[in-house]
């Protein structure tokens, strides 16, 4: 499961690795990953082959690789996808859905376990990239936008919702999901069901600081995605939580702040939160 910190690590590593390189070959193993950007696999191959990489951007968890001629290669790894570097001669594995090799050497493999991948990728005009990827231009990106705590407080007041749902609403905040929303709330000592407009000035500043600290720590914990073959996600393929997480995935274990058991609570269908009833208010 990749959220904003892991995707930012990917972006930085890709920026070092592929900017200035030209795409040589494109192999699309699974037709569904090109939708909704293209109708068929050959359309993506034609749009990407021969293009030179000029920049690597990110908005939320979506990667935007800018190419020559004002085109952008959009990569949305979905809930379970991974992006990793291989040699140009490496054969794709059973779970590899896209292979892109470069003229100067090396390749990128886009993979996801299972027969129905959530990955989507395609090439679109740069000016249409955000809309084509379904990324809200008004959503706050905590890393890119770097708001002040006062701006963040106004944002929370305008949101008018429970903190957990505000933090994970992609129309409001880009890139935060179930993992780091819980980690941020735990670090700030705030419950998931607190109304976003009800926070005091002190609580706003605490939440703001927690968001910054948790995301920076998560990026350090993720490692170097391309140097280490692929990014270390917060939740592995077996559903186990990474060691740097303090609350997510740790139901029944003692809270590291007050030693009371961590709880897992259902907020609505398919949405759960991990929290401590003792030290989160």
Task: Please write the tens of the pLDDT for every residue from 118-159.
Answer: 999 999 999 999 999 999 989 999 999 989 999 999 999 999
Question: How far apart, in whole angstroms, are the C-alpha atoms of residue 234 and residue 260?
Answer: 23
The confidence score (pLDDT) of residue 226 equals: 45
Say if CB 211 and CB 225 are below 8 A apart. no
Bridge partners for 66 per DSSP: 55, 72
Over 50: is that where the pLDDT of 80 sits?
yes
Say if CB 90 and CB 107 are below 8 A apart. yes
Cα 229 to its chain centre, rounded Å, is 18
Domain boundaries, the chain: 4-133, 149-275
Compare 228 and 272 and report the one with higher pLDDT: 272
Over 50: is that where the pLDDT of 219 sits?
yes
Question: How far apart, in whole angstroms, are the C-alpha atoms of residue 8 and residue 81?
Answer: 15
Say if CB 280 and CB 257 are below 8 A apart. no
| Mean pLDDT across 233-258 | 80
Q: How many helices (H) and strands (E) does the chain have?
A: 7, 10
Say if CB 190 and CB 207 are below 8 A apart. yes
Cα 199 to its chain centre, rounded Å, is 27
Q: Say if 4-133 and 149-275 have the same CATH topology.
A: no
The confidence score (pLDDT) of residue 261 equals: 97
The model's pTM is: 0.89
**Band of pLDDT at residue 68, cut at 50, 70 and 90:** very high
The confidence score (pLDDT) of residue 228 equals: 37
The confidence score (pLDDT) of residue 235 equals: 58
Query: What tens digit of pLDDT does each residue of 36-67 get?
Result: 999 999 999 999 999 999 999 999 999 999 99
User: What are the structure tokens assigned to 175, written together?
Assistant: 């890139």
User: What are the structure tokens assigned to 131, written together?
Assistant: 């809309």
**Band of pLDDT at residue 224, cut at 50, 70 and 90:** low
The confidence score (pLDDT) of residue 79 equals: 78
The confidence score (pLDDT) of residue 237 equals: 54
DSSP E strands in the chain: the ranges are 23-28, 53-59, 62-67, 71-76, 82-86, 96-102, 107-111, 120-125, 263-268, 271-275
The confidence score (pLDDT) of residue 241 equals: 59
Bridge partners for 120 per DSSP: 76
CA distances from 211 to 107, 147, 148, 236 (A): 34, 11, 12, 22
The confidence score (pLDDT) of residue 185 equals: 98
Task: Name the architecture of domain 149-275.
Answer: Orthogonal Bundle (1.10)
Mean pLDDT rounded to a whole number for the chain = 91
Question: How far apart, in whole angstroms, are the C-alpha atoms of residue 207 and residue 178?
Answer: 16
**Band of pLDDT at residue 243, cut at 50, 70 and 90:** confident
The confidence score (pLDDT) of residue 108 equals: 92
Task: Name the architecture of domain 4-133.
Answer: Alpha-Beta Barrel (3.20)
Over 70: is that where the pLDDT of 240 sits?
no
Over 90: is that where the pLDDT of 173 sits?
yes
| Mean pLDDT across 246-258 | 95
| Mean pLDDT across 16-28 | 95
CA distances from 210 to 184, 188, 250 (A): 5, 5, 19
The confidence score (pLDDT) of residue 87 equals: 87
Question: How far apart, in whole angstroms, are the C-alpha atoms of residue 145 and residue 141?
Answer: 5
Say if CB 205 and CB 222 are below 8 A apart. no
What percentage of the chain exceeds 70 in pLDDT? Answer: 93
Question: How far apart, in whole angstroms, are the C-alpha atoms of residue 141 and residue 61?
Answer: 10
**Band of pLDDT at residue 229, cut at 50, 70 and 90:** very low
The confidence score (pLDDT) of residue 74 equals: 98
Over 70: is that where the pLDDT of 232 sits?
no
**Band of pLDDT at residue 234, cut at 50, 70 and 90:** low
Say if CB 261 and CB 120 are below 8 A apart. no
């Amino acid at each position: 499961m990749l959220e904003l910190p892991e995707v930012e690590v990917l972006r930085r590593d890709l920026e070092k690795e592929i900017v200035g390189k030209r795409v040589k070959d494109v192999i699309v193993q699974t037709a569904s990953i090109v939708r909704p950007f293209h109708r068929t696999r050959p359309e993506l191959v034609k749009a990407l082959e021969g293009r030179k990489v000029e920049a690597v951007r990110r908005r939320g968890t979506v990667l935007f690789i800018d190419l020559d001629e004002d085109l952008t290669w959009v990569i949305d790894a979905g809930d379970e996808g991974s992006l990793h570097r291989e040699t140009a001669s490496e054969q794709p594995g059973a779970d590899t859905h896209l292979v892109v090799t470069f003229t100067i050497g090396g390749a990128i493999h886009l993979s996801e376990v299972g027969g129905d991948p959530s990955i989507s990728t395609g090439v679109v005009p740069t000016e249409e990239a955000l809309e084509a990827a379904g990324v809200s231009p008004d959503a706050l990106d905590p890393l890119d936008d770097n708001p002040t705590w006062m701006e963040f407080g106004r944002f929370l007041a305008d949101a008018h919702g429970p903190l957990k749902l505000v933090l994970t609403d992609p129309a409001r905040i880009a890139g935060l999901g179930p993992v780091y929303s819980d980690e941020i709330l735990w670090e700030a000592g705030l419950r998931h069901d607190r109304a976003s407009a009800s926070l005091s000035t002190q609580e706003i500043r605490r939440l703001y600081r927690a968001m910054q600290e948790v995301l920076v720590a998560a990026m350090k914990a993720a490692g170097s995605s391309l140097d280490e073959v692929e990014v270390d996600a917060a939740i592995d393929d077996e559903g186990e939580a990474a060691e740097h997480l303090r609350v997510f995935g740790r139901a029944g274990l003692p809270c590291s702040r007050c030693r009371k058991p961590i709880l897992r609570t259902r907020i609505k269908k398919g949405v759960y939160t991990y929290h401590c009833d003792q030290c989160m208010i």
